[in-house]
Amino acid sequence: MTVPHIALVTGAGRGIGAAVAAELARVGATVVLAARSLDECERTAQALRSGGSRALAVTLDVGDPASIAAALARVREAVGAPDWLVNNAGIAVSAPLCPKDGSADELYERHMAVNFHGARRIAEALLPAMRVARYGRIVNIASSAGLRGYRYVAAYCASKHALMGWARAAALELDGSGVQVASVCPHYVDSPMTDASVRKIAAKTGRSESEARTLLAAENPSGKLVEPAQIARVVRELLESACNGAEVELDGGAPRYHPTQR
Ligand SMILES: NC(=O)c1ccc[n+]([C@@H]2O[C@H](COP(=O)([O-])OP(=O)(O)OC[C@H]3O[C@@H](n4cnc5c(N)ncnc54)[C@H](OP(=O)(O)O)[C@@H]3O)[C@@H](O)[C@H]2O)c1
């Protein structure tokens, strides 16, 4: 009998993370859903459990090292050491370059703490056991903003470029260890994060929310928002395969697999 994988999905209460959690539960993994809002994770976990899956909700603030340590201790005690990690939790706050109100440092520090250091710290905490087991998969939900720039989100772009840089270095260093790291880079996704951007654009420009959504979709090369379910399928395929160094760009059309760095 094969032992089911134990998957930790951060930011799994809603949006992309919830879709990934559902996809991994569907293929029999024990899924840990982690985010700051325990009630959201618990609702999603409950829905998975009612479908017969094993799912646990835990409180986690990836921007806080003490919260990471406490959440991982709870996970290890409850279900064991995760061999699949999906670093999905993230924030995106828009602001012009050099805001005049002096908020830049806080903005950059917050994005780096959550989108980069959070993902890095959780991976570092799980890596020793993965290395001993000579098996582990880490998939980071980065962004097309980790591959190129976008206006008014320099802090977000910087944090996602940092995450991509870390994943590229980690993949080289882990080569041959059995532990593999891959990155998924979606363009605009149909998720609550994009809903918030739509509301902000509508409020700032006087456009309707529907017009604002169409504008964001038109920024994607496919002209369509990416579906969270498509991201979830790609994440599952990466976790189930030899994926070290893989980078998959999703723009609403067919996935684009970038050449793996060697
Ligand atoms: N939406 C897009 O267009 C898009 C495009 C490319 C990449 N992405 C990336 O995809 C990931 C998921 O995005 P999404 O669109 O699904 O966003 P979302 O709908 O806003 O969901 C974000 C998730 O992350 C969690 N989260 C945020 N800060 C956290 C923290 N400090 N600690 C733990 N969990 C935290 C949230 O829960 P709590 O608030 O309860 O903690 C929530 O579960 C993010 O990394 C995002 O950058 C999104």
> Tokens representing 164?
């991509």
- CA dist 111 and 193 (Å) reads 14
Class of domain 6-186+227-249: alpha beta
**DSSP-assigned letter for residue 134:** T
Res. 262 pLDDT band, cuts 50 70 90: low
- CA dist 199 and 146 (Å) reads 24
Pairing of strands 247-250, 256-258: antiparallel
% of the chain exceeding 70 in pLDDT = 99
Output the pLDDT for position 1.
Answer: 60
pLDDT tens-digit readout, 10-64:
999 999 999 999 999 999 999 999 999 999 999 999 999 999 999 999 999 999 9
pLDDT tens-digit readout, 226-237:
999 999 999 999
Ligand 1 neighbours by CB, cut-off 6 Å: 10-11, 13-17, 35-37, 40, 60-63, 88-92, 114, 141, 143, 186, 188-189, 191-194
Å from CA of 218 to ligand 1 middle: 22
Domain ranges of the chain: 6-186+227-249, 189-225
Q: Give residue 78's Cα distance to chain centre.
A: 23
Average pLDDT over residues 225-254: 98
Closest C-alpha to ligand 1, atom 32:
61
DSSP-assigned beta bridge partners for residue 86: 9, 139
> Tokens representing 199?
């509301």
Closest C-alpha to ligand 1, atom 17:
193
Output the pLDDT for position 24.
Answer: 98
- CA dist 221 and 107 (Å) reads 28
Does this model's pTM top 0.85? yes
Average pLDDT over residues 205-213: 97
Residue 178 φ/ψ region, left for φ over 0, alpha for ψ in the -120 to 50 degree band, beta for the rest: left
φ, ψ at 172 (rounded to 5°): -65, -45
